[in-house]
Amino acid sequence: MSETPRFIRVHPDDNVAIVVNDGGLPAGTRFDAGLTLREHVPQGHKVNLVALAEGAPILRYGQVIGLAARDIPAGSWIEESLVRLPPAPALAELKVPGKGPAHLPPLEGYTFEGYRNADGSVGTRNLLAISTSVQCVAGVADYAARRIREEMLPHYSNVDGIVPLTHTYGCGVAINAPGAAVPIRSLHNLARNANFGGEPMVLGLGCEKLSPEWILEEGRPKPAPGNTPDIVRLQDESQVGFESMVAAIMEHAEKRLKNLNARTRTTCPASELVVGMQCGGSDAFSGVTSNPAIGFASDLIVRCGGTVMFSEVTEVRDAIHMLVPRAATPEVGQALIREMAWYDEYLNEGSSDRAANTTPGNKRGGLANIVEKALGSVAKSGSAPIDDVLSPGERPHRKGLIFAATPASDFICGTQQLASGITLQVFSTGRGTPYGLAAIPVIKMSSRTNLAKRWHDLIDIDAGRIATGQASIEEVGWELFRLILDVASGRKQVWADHWGLHNDLAVFNPGPVT
């Protein structure tokens, strides 16, 4: 069956468009608009609508994504080597607005069933977390969690699960280096995630650099030796043999399970949602289907008074000139620039820059470079003013749309957004990834329908229908918003949780390892 050849031009100024049809389109294909393809163009890849002279700007999203590497006749496949990377927007030239744009009109009446905590936060799950202060104890934490799950959890039916918060930080690191502040506050804030019910406990070893007290309290409190009501140290002399260590952990767990089990879901306004937006394995459709639909849902949550975080510094860097004007206050605008500058310097120290971001899969999916990727990525932030900016692992100062600075790496971004307090994540993907997190539900949205069909038992919602004209951005955005409320309420289960697909935590450590 031959389909009508289709392309998507995002902005009226664009001189390139992307091919929609599965499998791409062959040379000689004639579009209704009159353009004829000179060669085969794969799905999601760009075709130029007009002839481009060498050095001419290549426009997508109404923005310059690159410069033509040579003269290119109309109807050509604009593959990666034909697109010269332009420099990133100069931070010093960005103008911070004196007064931010107006907030979107409020939206009332939307609720979800959540777990309210003593500190006012609301969780989407009721989980016992076992924090760890060092990787040395990870095996013991996993073993104890398995035992607790098998032997104790059946007696506490209101508790959704046990999550060992294991990671690679804690020792063998320069604990006093400036960069150490990031992983230390991240681990502290991870333990406080609303899905853990304010019942933190820490498993430590005893000789590590990061003392378990630092996870429980800010400001590096002086460690007290031995076990405490909230801390089990494996090297404590009271423990003789492995079984006694496990018994100590189970005893600490049992007290918390009793408290957690007393919690029930209550009806909460959607203003209590804290949702993280992420993308990974992106393709050229991500920026026109899934990410704009996520942006639409983001606006709805923000209009309800809720909190949305978007992140991934290298994927906003090339669109920062579009984000700074959306800062709600001059302070937020300055903070956006500060986080970009910090990351530029971080990459520079590693003799790298933001161009190191794009993957072979991104490129096969039609994304020529980081500029094109970033312009599609920031669509996840919708159109609301940006209310707050967080350095990696910080907790929000207010509700609304928040830029939480993190690396774009899927597992690090996920971990850092968790530390910043998200209780649900939406993840958009074009190439496909089975990504999931144990601490929160992750809704996965595909940018293309053929991925949603192939991965029918991994993808939760398909935004590819936007490319084929079967649904609008608004329709898919509303559908996602309702799915967020259902998943947050425990009424619907995401595929990653159905199969138990949960990635390891990957705490961002910009500091040196010893």
Choice between 131 and 291, CB closer to Ca ion: 291
Choice between 288 and 408, CB closer to Ca ion: 408
Choice between 329 and 359, CB closer to Ca ion: 359
Choice between 76 and 425, CB closer to Ca ion: 425
CB of 171 to Ca ion, least distance (A): 28
The one segment of 19-27, 99-107, 334-342, 408-416 that binds Ca ion by CB under 5 A: 408-416
Distances (CA, A) of 474 to 151, 303, 335, 383: 47, 15, 31, 13
Choice between 248 and 408, CB closer to Ca ion: 408
CB of 173 to Ca ion, least distance (A): 24
393 touches Ca ion by CB under 5 A: no
Distance CA 233, CA 186 (A): 21
CB of 280 to Ca ion, least distance (A): 4
The one segment of 34-42, 104-112, 403-411, 468-476 that binds Ca ion by CB under 5 A: 403-411
The one segment of 151-159, 205-213, 274-282, 334-342 that binds Ca ion by CB under 5 A: 274-282
The site for Ca ion, by CB under 5 A, has a size of 4
Choice between 193 and 416, CB closer to Ca ion: 416
Choice between 303 and 431, CB closer to Ca ion: 431
For 428, list phi and psi in degrees, rounded to 5: -100, 140
Choice between 270 and 340, CB closer to Ca ion: 340
410 touches Ca ion by CB under 5 A: yes
365 touches Ca ion by CB under 5 A: no
The one segment of 211-219, 249-257, 321-329, 410-418 that binds Ca ion by CB under 5 A: 410-418
Distances (CA, A) of 324 to 16, 105, 146, 336, 396: 26, 21, 47, 7, 19
Give, as one character, the DSSP assignment of residue 77. B
Choice between 305 and 361, CB closer to Ca ion: 361
CB of 480 to Ca ion, least distance (A): 18
Distance CA 198, CA 122 (A): 11
> Which pair of tokens denotes residue 129?
């977390």
CB of 488 to Ca ion, least distance (A): 22
Type of residue numbered 414: G
The one segment of 197-205, 273-281, 291-299, 302-310 that binds Ca ion by CB under 5 A: 273-281
Residues 6+ apart with CB under 8 A from 21: 3, 5, 6, 43
CB of 406 to Ca ion, least distance (A): 9
> Which pair of tokens denotes residue 15?
């001189």
The one segment of 230-238, 279-287, 343-351, 457-465 that binds Ca ion by CB under 5 A: 279-287
Q: Is the dihedral of CA 389, 393, 396, 400 positive or negative?
A: positive
72 touches Ca ion by CB under 5 A: no
Residue with the closest Cβ to Ca ion? 280
What is the maximum span of the chain, computed from C-alpha positions, in angstroms? 81
CB of 329 to Ca ion, least distance (A): 27
432 touches Ca ion by CB under 5 A: no
CB of 484 to Ca ion, least distance (A): 19
Q: With residue 209 as reference, give the H or E element that holds it.
A: none
For 374, list phi and psi in degrees, rounded to 5: -65, -40
Distance CA 367, CA 512 (A): 33
408 touches Ca ion by CB under 5 A: yes
Q: With residue 378 as reference, give the H or E element that holds it.
A: none
Distance CA 8, CA 139 (A): 50
CB of 446 to Ca ion, least distance (A): 15
Q: Which residue is associated with the tokens 């931010």? A: 100
Choice between 280 and 430, CB closer to Ca ion: 280
Distances (CA, A) of 312 to 282, 351, 414: 13, 19, 10
280 touches Ca ion by CB under 5 A: yes
Choice between 367 and 408, CB closer to Ca ion: 408
Cβ 49 vs Cβ 364: under 8 Å: no
For 130, list phi and psi in degrees, rounded to 5: -110, 105
CB of 60 to Ca ion, least distance (A): 20
Distance CA 132, CA 454 (A): 38
Helix %, strand %, coil % of the chain (to 5):
35, 20, 45
What is the phi-psi region of residue 209: left when phi exceeds 0, alpha when psi lies from -120 to 50, beta otherwise?
alpha
CB of 427 to Ca ion, least distance (A): 8
Tell me which residues touch Ca ion (CB under 5 A). Answer: 280, 408, 410, 413
